[in-house]
Amino acid sequence: MKGSESLFRYPGVVKIKRGVKTRRGVETGEPAVVVSVKQKKDISCLGVGEIIPPTFNGVATDVVEEGPIKALNDVESPPSDPNVKKWYRPAFGGLSIGHMDVTAGTLGCIIKIGNDRFILSNKHVLGNCNEGKIGDPVYQPGPYDGKCAKKHLLSYYRAGCKLQYVNSPSQCAISNRIVNHLNLLAEHLGRQTRFRAVVEFPINFTDWAYAGPVSEEEAINHIAYIGPVHHVMLTPPYVGMPFKYTGRTSGFKTGIVTAIDVSIRVEMGNNHDAIFDDQIEFQPCALGGDRGSVMLVNSNDIADNIIFGLLFAGSGQFGYACKASRVWSEAGIDWPGCMLAK
């Protein structure tokens, strides 16, 4: 939502979306900017500058409690289907997978860039957020579910998005030049204070990475309990659209899209938070370890296995995915090809 990052300055805010105002648990039908917080507090307990304004861009706000939104790193829950954490060759979508320094996530699907085939998942699954290096080993099953043995080595981290965290160092040359001058002045005056240029709330739109290349003997175009993938949705999903996916922890799962233009603050681990805009919200919520699953339109016709999202985060109430059309554009993916929604 345009300009929504300003609301993340208020303590505890984790999500902003368009919706309707609710009073005593009943929707009023009145349009509202719904602001979700980790914990809702009585206004008497809030200090100056901590109270969310009653309106945003001329629309009434409605504050609700959701809890923290996390990058689904926790894999303590056993998989609903133990088979997804087993070793398979060729590997396929829905299985446990992970960078050598993470626990486990989900192998999303096979993609092609040029003539090469790769494995698609999240950056925090295949690339350990921004910590991984190109060429780092990727294991199937993920390290939490299996040993980092030669047999389990499937491929190598190849490329991914750059995750930008809250209060990231600024890349603006002018800002950094000004800060350098201020620090020189402070040093000259004998002051201990030092300045640094940061971007308070940089915006992310995706969390993707790919590993490989892989041969057909190593990984195939198939998702457990779903089948092969054929297309990617070029247009955004719609509210109420049915979905399906197979994740490392949930196994095969279905539900509906509940919002399509959501801004969220996600706990990425290692005390890093990141703001994501234009995200897909869905229910029921995803589980830890489902991260990296591709989300598809739920249809009984296998020819309609159409990807629309890449799952990466969740709270106790909702799951979140970035739009596949953005991932395909950023990563330069050639296949599966894009198509208009039906």
Please tell me the total count of domains within the chain.
3
According to DSSP, the residues that pair with 309 across neighbouring strands are: 323
Q: Are residues 300 and 192 in the same domain?
A: no
Q: Are residues 30 and 142 in the same domain?
A: no
Question: Would you say residue 341 has pLDDT above 60?
Answer: no
Q: Are residues 117 and 174 in the same domain?
A: no
What is the CA 218 to chain-centroid distance, rounded?
A: 26
Q: What is the DSSP letter of 106?
A: E
pLDDT at 128: 97
CATH number reported for the structural domain that contains residue 322 in this entry = 2.40.10.10
Render pLDDT for 186-207 as a digit per residue (tens, 0 to 9): 666 777 776 665 578 899 999 9
Q: Are residues 179 and 30 in the same domain?
A: no
Render pLDDT for 70-85 as a digit per residue (tens, 0 to 9): 998 777 777 888 889 9
Question: Would you say residue 340 has pLDDT above 60?
Answer: no
Sign of CA dihedral 268, 273, 274, 276: positive
Render pLDDT for 118-156 as a digit per residue (tens, 0 to 9): 999 999 999 999 999 999 999 999 999 998 889 999 999
Which range of residues forms the domain containing residue 186? 168-199
Q: What share of the chain is helix, strand, coil (3-state, %, to 5)?
A: 15, 40, 45
pLDDT at 197: 56
Residue 342: pLDDT band (50, 70, 90) is very low
Q: Are residues 136 and 266 in the same domain?
A: yes
Q: Are residues 148 and 180 in the same domain?
A: no
The average confidence (pLDDT) of the chain is 90
Distance CA 181, CA 341 (A): 53
Render pLDDT for 147-186 as a digit per residue (tens, 0 to 9): 888 999 999 999 999 999 997 665 667 756 775 766 677 6
